Structure 1
Amino acid sequence: MTSPRPDLEPDASLSRAEMESLQRDIAAAAVFDDDLAFDPTLLSNPLAAAAGGADGDQPIVAGVDQSFLTNDEGEQDRALSAVVAMQGGEVLERVHAITPLESPYIPGLLSFREGRPILAALEKLSVDPDLLLFDGSGRIHFRQAGIATHMGVVLDVPAIGIAKSLLCGEPREDTADRSEGTRIAIEADDSVDAPAGTVLGYAVQTRQYDSPNRYINPLYVSPGHRVGAETAADIALALAASYKLPEPVRLADSEATAAKPGGED
């Protein structure tokens, strides 16, 4: 995969103010409505998917995740970006790239630390994904431009952010101990560059224990680019077949560890 918008690629040499300004440009360019080249119900309807055939209408969905490598001083100095492309529940391709880290971790500026390593891994893919799922935020972001939005716009590919914790915004209801399949809207508050009450995404309960004594936290799912918030939540639920994480992201997470030299943690 190559970028049609190199002018919007993350640049770690920018100042913080310049990074935030670029994120606002990214958000302005993003499309937070469905603009998909496939029928998203294929991901949740096994009969429809089977009718599409292995090489038919089924979309190729790629999960993206990262791990980090340390130098002799124990400092993180390289990122290992892993991508797993799937179609019809089967893995088509696994790729990864190891690249230097150019920026420290700064909340809200994750794409400037991990974006270029991710682009390096995606360049190795021989298939063209119809949809990208990122371990991180999309529109649920201070400037509506999390890593899924940034990468989605740069590549002009539909993208969804799948985050394990809430970066910003406010849930409409309590998200604790919800039943499987529940979704609760996350609205913009005064921490977000959006009108108050704007639906940024959803807290999605993909899995839940059948026990009164413990519960699984929801995922925070938001559109990155060319996907609406409702469809993003639908897709996250459809692809979380057996585990909390949607399968492409879960496998990318495993690949990001397994591909380390020596398979180290």
Structure 2
Amino acid sequence: MVSVKRPDLLPDPGLSREEMESLQREIADEAVFENDLSFDPAVITEGPLSMPGEEPPLVAGVDQSFLDDRAISAIVVSRGGEVVEQVYAVTDLSIPYIPGLLSFREGGPIVDAFEELSAEPDLVLFDGSGRIHFREAGIATHMGVVFDVPSVGVAKSLLCGTPVDATDDLVEGARVPIESDADVTAPNGTVIGHAVQTRQYESGSQSINPLIVSPGHRVDADAATDLVLALTSGYKLPEPTRRADAYAEEAKSLLDA
């Protein structure tokens, strides 16, 4: 089971907004936006190993679906593209969505799901932001620090920060650095993540928007992007979060039957 390493930083939805934001600043101070991985990123794969004898790490994807006022938090753990374990937890939601405070709405349900998990992931990908956050403490950073696990945020839209170049019609595999600006606590010009084109249509008549990838904890911005690209196979979403999304929807359909 993945154990909570920093119970003092668990998301408490009963805090005031000022207290939540203060806790996020503390989390950002504790976060490590440099590489501290227990594995060689070169062995990350969604398929058979290219070098015999090497074992890819356990990678978890985390996503949620919602049913009435409940969150269904799903975690799917895989190794080399093979699912090792999948769990979910159902938790009542106590506060609405507030931009910048997502982890206080969804963090508790995610913690509940981790309590059901037997495997100990070497890397966790979250559906949401990491360092690309007003106080550098999106849900991937918050959960990464709480569990002290390398983590990456994979968001579908940009919360804050400024891309250094246009992000429209990027070719597959392209990345555009996103820098901090006046809305972010990091010094202006700090690269806090990337817009990443994981998939693109061959025809120029249509275009797929890039994902917004940022380090959560114990990963830097470049490595976060490299890992996401290595874990993407034919779809826009990286496989870990794509599997978690599908499992969350499967669990929702069972509960709603």
- Per the normalisation by structure 2, the TM-score is 0.96
- Spell out, residue by residue over 1:54-79, the C-alpha distance to the aligned partner (whole angstroms, 9 max, x if none): xxx31000000001111xxxxxx111
Indicate how the Cα distance of structure 1 residues 212 and 263 shifts in structure 2: closer, same or farther if over 3 A, else same.
farther
Partner of 2:254: 262
SS in structure 2 opposite 1:51? coil
- Spell out, residue by residue over 1:47-101, the C-alpha distance to the aligned partner (whole angstroms, 9 max, x if none): 7555245xxx31000000001111xxxxxx1110000000011000110000110
Tell me, yes or no, if structure 1 residue 35 matches structure 2 residue 36.
Answer: yes
Partner of 1:73: none
Whole-angstrom CA distance in 2 between matches of 1:39 and 1:138:
22
Partner of 2:108: 116
Indicate how the Cα distance of structure 1 residues 48 and 251 shifts in structure 2: closer, same or farther if over 3 A, else same.
closer
- Per the normalisation by structure 1, the TM-score is 0.93
* Structure 1 position 43, deviation (Å): 1.2
Tell me, yes or no, if structure 1 residue 11 matches structure 2 residue 9.
Answer: no
Superposition pairs of residues 1-265 of structure 1, within 5 angstroms: 1-44=2-45, 50-52=51-53, 57-70=55-68, 77-262=69-254
Moved more, 233-242 or 36-45: 36-45
- Whether contact under 8 Å (1:52, 1:58) holds in the other structure is no
Letter in 2 for 1:14: L
* Structure 1 position 263, deviation (Å): 6.3
* Structure 1 position 262, deviation (Å): 3.2
- Whether contact under 8 Å (1:43, 1:235) holds in the other structure is yes
- Spell out, residue by residue over 1:185-243, the C-alpha distance to the aligned partner (whole angstroms, 9 max, x if none): 00001110111100000000000000111010000000000001100000111111111
Q: Give the total of aligned pairs.
A: 256
Structure 1 stretches lacking a partner, 5+ long:
71-76
* Greater than 3 Å deviation, 4+ residue runs: 44-50, 261-265
Partner of 1:74: none
- Whether contact under 8 Å (2:46, 2:233) holds in the other structure is no
Indicate how the Cα distance of structure 1 residues 109 and 251 shifts in structure 2: closer, same or farther if over 3 A, else same.
same
Whole-angstrom CA distance in 1 between matches of 2:211 and 2:193:
10
Letter in 2 for 1:23: Q
- Whether contact under 8 Å (1:142, 1:191) holds in the other structure is yes
Letter in 1 for 2:242: R
Whole-angstrom CA distance in 2 between matches of 1:49 and 1:7:
42
